[in-house]
Structure 1
């Protein structure tokens, strides 16, 4: 009972375990969906699917940027008497943005279809509008739960949403049936609906709407969220622009080839995303309790811990890039091998840049983070255009490495000036993580030896 009580009372242990579990399942399900999907779709359809997913992810992340982070921030710090008014204001903003983005999706679908020479994109985008409306409620519910430092509903709803698509793909693969891209979107819609209902259950006691709409909170949420919205939107554009430009400057099939390398790199970066989820609400509280000193320590420790987990994975994946690509994408995608090796080098810089944005937003410096993100996107677009134009697909991987190197350098000097972060401290935490893991391993071996002697 004492162990359970300690687990429930310790934020880092509780939220860290749930987020680690969630990201482990996300990694497994994402890999499973990708692994079998690439085998049931031809290279052309797979490329179109990648371009479709890259586009809708911009819509989803844009909404999360405006809604989630501002709602989490104010619910975490405001008095309970204001919670209903904050939730109501956030819900109205959410609904309004969802309508605007859904309309934009409908209007721009023909343009994307023509730009990427893929007529089947139009019905895909039109159907996804239904999914997008449903997931708007899911975004709202999950943000409310995270604001109360709870993650179980977030974990379960995300799991259900991902398993719906994986289950359908496995059915098609093992039954030897044919499927269409439109059928995949239909399954996504069903998964989003079930996930939303589950998430609603976990916040049923905290999701309360006020009869009166408080304009003060509308203004406050928009004031904070507009920069977070811009940051999230530009960040996801930056992460997708290379694939989109490959689809436009080369071909949709080439975008699918490049995506394989990027996807492997993203899988390796799962610990980075998990840490960012934990750090965001905790950073806001550290700022209030300990000031910039507490945030500085949080940044150094979180980046150092993630680097300790990433380094072995990156080295192994780099050395065995050939077998990794052949295993994931079968023998049809040998072009992805050199792409993977280049994108893996970029992965070393991602923990620094990821936590840079998380720290700035959680400490109220959203305006600075917004400007930094916009500049990085412009840089990324220019570098990608030049490199892809001259070197094709390999140029996109080179552009990713160059862009992250420049961004890492800039963010380091910004945080050094603002918080006084130390690169030495980051690496100290990295090596301390290895030392701690070694000591725990030795302790476990001693316990095993003692039990065997008994």
Structure 2
């Protein structure tokens, strides 16, 4: 919010593209490394010396991937910037973030170390310190009326990543044995494990950022990218509960599929989707009705065009819990290959539809294309899930009715207690 009000839409659009590129790199790398690191270390006995071999091999891969990305920035950063419409500013901002990329090697490694020992306090503390310090920096610049230059902003972000790394290091020290003994066997095993999860991560990250990337590539306006970025950030309010629920239900479904059979899996899946849609439905309706004042309050008058984008995103956001939980269900049942194929087809369709809509509609083309793709994707996912586990839409609707009934009765009970207390 501070940056939106402190920068012009064109300059904020460059920052939005910078975040898309760097976040895409980190999330993709995490999909390959962190899952494998956590899986192999957590499944190894506490006194097994192979723990350090696994961690060391993971660090080698982490470093190698980062070096390749830094080389890509210096060799082809200008071309990438021109392709997405970021101009020379985006390439410069990416190069100023190289120190941050180096520090991120250690941050992500320590994060994986923490999670592999089922300790999440350090991860929370590291991210909290990183984000809070950046907030303090940009708030201080705003309050003192200092100019905010994009290349300096990426350098400040690098410093904040360093602060987060120091914090997470203090929480991780007890798990570090200060030995470095990687082996080629473990390097191959870790990279081999990624497979479909790694490629699915690439596809998922491309899919979630395709609207901003294609808007920049086709329209060549960073100001328009800024509109999409601001609407996308507001849209995260809808997506966050679905992703959080995935972390909860993933182990439950994996266990149920082994111990209790497909009927229990189907029951858990349909009820989780129903709960999420019960939550998102009123929120979606509220945001669609009040999209203009919400956008104006959060982003300012310059971003009013983002209101219609936000409304279109809400239509897709209403259906997204079904798609997210379907993908999560297939992964938990060991059908990652099928999940990858569906996601890859969805990405291809989204690319074609968005490209067509951008050239025919213009500014709102990417948002319109996202809605069309989401409707097609939800339909496809429904028939896939019906075939795989026997999902029935009427069951989800019935569960939604039951949950709303519970909410209504609980609300009435609370009102009665409040009135009773006031009368006393």
What's the C-alpha RMSD, in Å, of the aligned pairs?
2.7
Cα deviation, residue 397, structure 1: 0.8
1:162 aligned residue? 131
Q: Does 1:237 align with 2:206?
A: yes
Cα deviation, residue 193, structure 1: 1.4
CA contact (8 A) 1:65 1:228 kept: yes
Cα deviation per residue 1:21-54 (whole Å; 9 max; x = unaligned)? xxxxxxxxxxxxxx11111101210111111111
1:143 aligned residue? 112
Cα deviation per residue 1:231-278 (whole Å; 9 max; x = unaligned)? 111111111122111112111111112222222212332212222233
Give the direction of change, closer, same or farther, for the CA distance of 1:294–1:145 in structure 2 (3 Å limit).
farther
Give the direction of change, closer, same or farther, for the CA distance of 1:140–1:302 in structure 2 (3 Å limit).
farther
- Which has the higher mean CA deviation after the structures are superposed, 42-51 or 290-299? 290-299
Pairwise mapping of residues 334-345 of structure 1 onto structure 2 (< 5 A)? 334-345=304-315
How many residue pairs are counted as aligned between the two chains?
420
1:15 aligned residue? none
Pairwise mapping of residues 199-214 of structure 1 onto structure 2 (< 5 A)? 199-207=168-176, 212-213=181-182
1:106 aligned residue? 74
Give the direction of change, closer, same or farther, for the CA distance of 1:292–1:146 in structure 2 (3 Å limit).
farther
Cα deviation per residue 1:379-436 (whole Å; 9 max; x = unaligned)? 1111111110111121111100011112222222223322333333433443444344
Q: Distance in 2 between matches of 1:220 and 1:259?
A: 37
2:249 aligned residue? 279
1:31 aligned residue? none
CA contact (8 A) 2:94 2:154 kept: no
Cα deviation, residue 284, structure 1: 4.2
Q: Distance in 2 between matches of 1:219 and 1:288?
A: 29
Give the direction of change, closer, same or farther, for the CA distance of 1:204–1:286 in structure 2 (3 Å limit).
farther
- Which has the higher mean CA deviation after the structures are superposed, 92-101 or 44-53? 92-101
Give the direction of change, closer, same or farther, for the CA distance of 1:372–1:218 in structure 2 (3 Å limit).
farther
Q: Which runs of 5+ in 2 are unaligned?
A: none
1:222 aligned residue? 191
| Alignment match of 2:5 (pick from 35, 39, 49) | 39
Q: Distance in 1 between matches of 2:106 and 2:252?
A: 25
TM-score, normalisation: structure 1: 0.83
1:65 aligned residue? 31
CA contact (8 A) 2:278 2:404 kept: yes
SS of 2:65's partner is helix
Cα deviation, residue 323, structure 1: 0.9
CA contact (8 A) 1:164 1:187 kept: no
Pairwise mapping of residues 356-375 of structure 1 onto structure 2 (< 5 A)? 356-375=326-345
| Alignment match of 2:95 (pick from 107, 117, 126) | 126
Q: Distance in 1 between matches of 2:207 and 2:405?
A: 36
Cα deviation, residue 188, structure 1: 1.2
CA contact (8 A) 1:261 1:336 kept: yes
CA contact (8 A) 1:87 1:209 kept: no
2:377 aligned residue? 407
CA contact (8 A) 2:269 2:325 kept: yes
1:95 aligned residue? 63
Q: Does 1:351 align with 2:317?
A: no
CA contact (8 A) 1:48 1:121 kept: yes
Q: Which runs of 5+ in 1 are unaligned?
A: 1-34
| Alignment match of 1:419 (pick from 389, 396, 421) | 389
Give the direction of change, closer, same or farther, for the CA distance of 1:337–1:149 in structure 2 (3 Å limit).
same
Q: Distance in 1 between matches of 2:93 and 2:182?
A: 36
1:32 aligned residue? none
1:30 aligned residue? none
Give the direction of change, closer, same or farther, for the CA distance of 1:266–1:296 in structure 2 (3 Å limit).
same
CA contact (8 A) 1:89 1:218 kept: yes
CA contact (8 A) 1:46 1:253 kept: yes
Give the direction of change, closer, same or farther, for the CA distance of 1:236–1:95 in structure 2 (3 Å limit).
same
Give the direction of change, closer, same or farther, for the CA distance of 1:109–1:259 in structure 2 (3 Å limit).
same
Q: Distance in 1 between matches of 2:285 and 2:387?
A: 32
SS of 1:119's partner is helix
Give the direction of change, closer, same or farther, for the CA distance of 1:77–1:414 in structure 2 (3 Å limit).
farther
Q: Distance in 2 between matches of 1:245 and 1:387?
A: 11
